[in-house]
């Protein structure tokens, strides 16, 4: 799987064991943990169908995310040719600097290059997390104008982005 580097030295890459100690140093505030989980949750959450990825700035790991290739089997709003974005998190020390939207903008071509058999990517973002919704929107995601009501932390906006023509 190819990594993708963009302006501002943002790089996305598939997780491998060499990133473990860096991931363990990523911290979120308590409010964010209920939406994205902890670094430990992330490290324990990979599988053949849920792929772990890292976010780097200037060669330093600052965040992580998961791509679920069978998201459509758990969420009826996701089509069969859609991926799921889960557990997107940026370390608390790197928040508030505009990096989130830049990383999301880098994410779409990264997914197009590494998951070319898929046409779109879907996510849910908690209604109590307007900063995250804005980040995804600024990065290229579209609000589906529907709510997912099965989330553990309450209602969530459904968002998606087309990656088939990137």
| pLDDT tens digits for range 72-109 | 999 999 999 999 999 999 999 998 888 999 999 999 99
Domain-embedded: residue 130: no
Predicted local confidence at residue 7, as pLDDT: 47
H helix runs in 7-59, sequence order: 20-24, 30-36, 39-43
When the pLDDT of each residue in the chain is averaged and rounded to a whole number, the result is 92
Domain-embedded: residue 155: no
Domain-embedded: residue 157: no
- pLDDT tier, 32 (very low <50, low <70, confident <90, very high otherwise): confident
pTM over 0.85: yes
Domain-embedded: residue 78: yes
Domain-embedded: residue 136: no
Domain-embedded: residue 35: yes
Domain that holds residue 100: 4-122
* CATH code at position 112: 3.40.630.30
Residue 10: count other Cβ atoms within 10 Å of its Cβ: 20
Domain-embedded: residue 76: yes
Q: How far is CA 108 from the centre of its chain?
A: 10
pLDDT score of 3 more than 90: no
Higher pLDDT, 93 or 153: 93
Number of domain units in the chain: 1
Domain-embedded: residue 43: yes
């Amino acid at each position: 799987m190819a990594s993708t580097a963009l302006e501002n030295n943002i790089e996305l890459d598939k997780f491998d064991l060499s990133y473990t100690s860096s991931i363990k140093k990523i911290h979120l505030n308590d409010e964010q943990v209920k939406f994205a989980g902890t670094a430990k949750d992330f490290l324990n959450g990979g599988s053949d169908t849920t792929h772990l990825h890292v976010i780097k700035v200037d060669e330093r790991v600052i965040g992580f995310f998961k791509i679920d290739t069978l998201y459509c089997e758990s969420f009826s709003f996701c089509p069969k040719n859609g991926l799921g974005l889960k557990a997107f998190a940026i370390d608390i020390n790197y928040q508030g600097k505009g990096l989130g939207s830049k990383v999301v903008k880098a994410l779409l071509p990264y997914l197009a290059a590494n998951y070319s058999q898929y046409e779109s990517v879907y996510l849910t973002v908690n209604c109590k997390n307007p900063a995250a919704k804005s980040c995804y929107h600024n990065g290229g995601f579209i609000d589906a104008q529907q709510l997912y009501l099965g989330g553990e932390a309450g209602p969530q906006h459904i968002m998606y982005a087309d990656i088939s023509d990137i």
